[in-house]
């Protein structure tokens, strides 16, 4: 353990170490996995997990997906339910890229400028 962290609660460790919070890192993993599925980098069919919205509103991007209705808590914890809000909150310029590295750079670039590519 590093000096100065032993008496602090776990929630303060990322701030002290100048790291991202656990919830932020989890959200990043969700959207990266969704992008890999959408771009067919992963061998998981995007259409099997997510359904695109038919509504093409003026806000956000055109790749928004429906959040499945979860009447039970177990269903709400599925990846397809957890990742939707974060994916839908991404900016248009982050979604409309051709490869995973461009996607990561656009999401991380916004964060490094203290302006997140998605709401926390």
Asked if residue 13 belongs to a domain, the reply is no
Structural domain for 37, as ranges: 21-112
Asked if residue 1 belongs to a domain, the reply is no
Predicted local distance difference test score (pLDDT) of residue 111: 52
The total number of structural domains that make up the chain: 1
Asked if residue 54 belongs to a domain, the reply is yes
Asked if residue 97 belongs to a domain, the reply is yes
Predicted local distance difference test score (pLDDT) of residue 120: 47
Whether residue 37 is predicted with pLDDT greater than 90 in this model: the reply is yes
Q: What b-and-e string marks burial along 37-70, b requiring 16 or more CB atoms within 10 Å of the CB?
A: bbeeeeeeebeebbeeeeeeeeeebebbbebeee
Mean pLDDT of 5-18: 73
pLDDT digits (tens, 9 = 90+) for 78-113: 888 888 888 888 888 888 888 999 888 888 765 554
């Amino acid at each position: 353990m590093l000096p100065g962290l032993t008496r602090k609660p776990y929630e303060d460790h990322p701030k002290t170490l100048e790291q991202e919070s656990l919830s932020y890192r989890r959200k990043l993993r969700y959207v990266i996995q969704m992008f890999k599925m959408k771009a067919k980098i992963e061998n998981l069919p995007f259409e099997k997990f997510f359904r695109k919205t038919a509504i093409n509103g003026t806000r956000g991007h055109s790749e928004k997906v429906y959040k499945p209705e979860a009447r039970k808590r177990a269903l709400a914890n599925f990846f397809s339910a957890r990742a939707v809000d974060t994916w839908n909150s991404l900016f248009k310029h982050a979604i409309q890229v051709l490869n995973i590295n461009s996607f990561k750079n656009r999401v991380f670039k916004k964060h490094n400028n203290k302006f997140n590519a998605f709401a926390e």
